[in-house]
Structure 1
Amino acid sequence: MDDLERELRALATWLDTPEVPDVTARVRSRLAAPAHRRRRWRYWLAAVLAALLVALLPPGRAAIADAVAGLLRFSGIVIDTTSAPMPPTGVPSPLPAQRPAAFHEAQRHLRFPIRVPAELGDPEQVLVADPDGTGAYRVVTLLYRGGALRLDAFDGHLEPVFQKQVSGPGVEWVQVHGDFAVWIGGPHELSYVDRTGTVRVATARLAAATLIWEDAGVSYRLEGDLTRDEAIGIAESLD
């Protein structure tokens, strides 16, 4: 159980839980919810379990577990806190087969609807990337503020699509429309994970603060020079 103990302790360090509310009714309602909503709720249940186990660990075993961070997969994104990130060197390559597309053209080649945040309005540019054998693209990106602010969207049922390397404080659970999301408050290394599960090192770049959430089976990552509250406001304005 040592590995599980370490992973749960690492997850618990991201939680800010000054009070433990009675969530019985909410848990029961989630268990009766559609599958994609139950999947999101599992992350919250794992976090609560982590907090409880950490509180019950003997001091000696807790000291050992404190030395190791871990991995979290959330909405198709792997967040790795096992070591300090190294800033990418050189010029990162674009995502596989990435190209610009008109909004309506991009929509025709995606298996999920493109939703635009009302707080941002129409994007300045739309990019699509990584088509499958039928020509359906895996990722769509909406760019704003000259490309400094970006919203990536992809099917939340897919295997991991992005991998982030982060360290220290700045990774925390938040909520978007009452569902759980992850906020990474500072720069971190970001790489693309292709359809075979291989991390594309050539795509690695230093990403800005990021909010990750899932809605209606679609995963989103909003990245840019934003505060946590600004990012959540944008996420909750998706049309």
Structure 2
Amino acid sequence: MDDLERELRDLSAWLETPDPPEVVTRVRARLAAPKRRRWRYLVAVVSTALVVAALPPGRAALADAVAGLLRFAGITISTSSPPALPTGSPSPLPAQRPAGFDEAQRAVRFPIRVPAKLGPPEQVLVADPDSTGSHRVATLLYRGGALRLDAFDGRLDPVFFKQAGGPGTQWVQVGEEPAIWIGGPHPVSYVDRDGAVRVESARLAAATLVWQDAGVTYRLEGQLTVAEAVGIAASLT
């Protein structure tokens, strides 16, 4: 439970306390003070409930203490066990295809924004169209594909599933918004519209920053430091 308590203390920093704040204050005091064993389960349950209740829906991050899952902005991250490395060649996202920037913008239902620090992408991809032809994911590629920015509507069901173990996963900020940084290689898979993890899409991802802005989730992946990634994210135009 020590790891869980540490994660819950980190999450408590993102709480936007409603009025009256007495309950939140008491729970934060419990988290900060030395803990007796009999309080551990109570604090875990109450703190998780407060995260769900106090954060607005667009920024909500839900920690599942039992399954070891973190759900944030349309991405599910498993931290319960060491990640299993994918084998074989990963398949692309469903019905993925290249598109011109203007064509890609017409193909998705959210604005495609470009980081000013990177400039125009070398290639744009769209993937997973529905019955109306509206695509679920847009991807901007840079540096020969070694640096990628995925964008999708984070208010929809989960789109990516990640497995991340060790100390490399941490909360950071992009502007005033919370973000998650996964600082090392980790398996990532696509989650289809039925909620099933597409095992054949599993691949080893590089360091990744995940954040949300105006309901759109962004996933920046590449050989970057956390400071570089946050700077790129903050430059979206």
TM-score by length of 2: 0.79
With CA pairs under 8 Å and 6+ residues apart, which has the higher RCO, 1 or 2? Answer: 1
Deviates more, 1:156-165 or 1:67-76: 67-76
SS at match of 1:160: coil
User: What is the Cα deviation at residue 139 of structure 1?
Assistant: 0.2
Equivalent position of 2:176 in the other structure: 178
Instruction: Select which of 228, 233, 236 maps to 1:235.
Output: 233
Number of equivalences: 210
- Once the two structures are TM-superposed, the CA of residue 86 in structure 1 deviates from its matched residue by 1.3
Alpha-carbon separation, structure 1, partners of 2:33 and 2:111: 43
State how 1:3-42 maps to structure 2 within 5 Å: 9=5, 11-12=7-8, 15=10, 27=17
Query: In angstroms, what is the RMSD of aligned CA positions?
Result: 3.1
> Aligned to 2:193, which of 175, 192, 195?
195
Give the secondary structure class of the aligned counterpart of 1:113. coil
Counterpart residue number, 2:137: 139
The verdict on how the C-alpha distance between 1:8 and 1:61 changes in structure 2, with shifts beyond 3 A counting, is: same
Match for 2:37 among 52, 55, 59?
59
Give the secondary-structure state (helix, strand or coil) at the position aligned to 2:81. Answer: coil
Partner of 1:92: 90
Conserved 8 A contact 1:6-1:70? no
Q: Which runs of 5+ in 1 are unaligned?
A: 32-45
Partner of 1:164: 162
Unaligned 5+ runs, structure 2:
45-64
Percent of aligned pairs sharing the same letter: 63
Q: 2:124 aligns with which of 117, 120, 126?
A: 126
2:151 equivalent in structure 1: 153
Secondary structure, counterpart of 1:129 in structure 2: strand
CA contact (8 A) 1:6 1:69 kept: no
Residue type of the alignment partner of 1:87: L
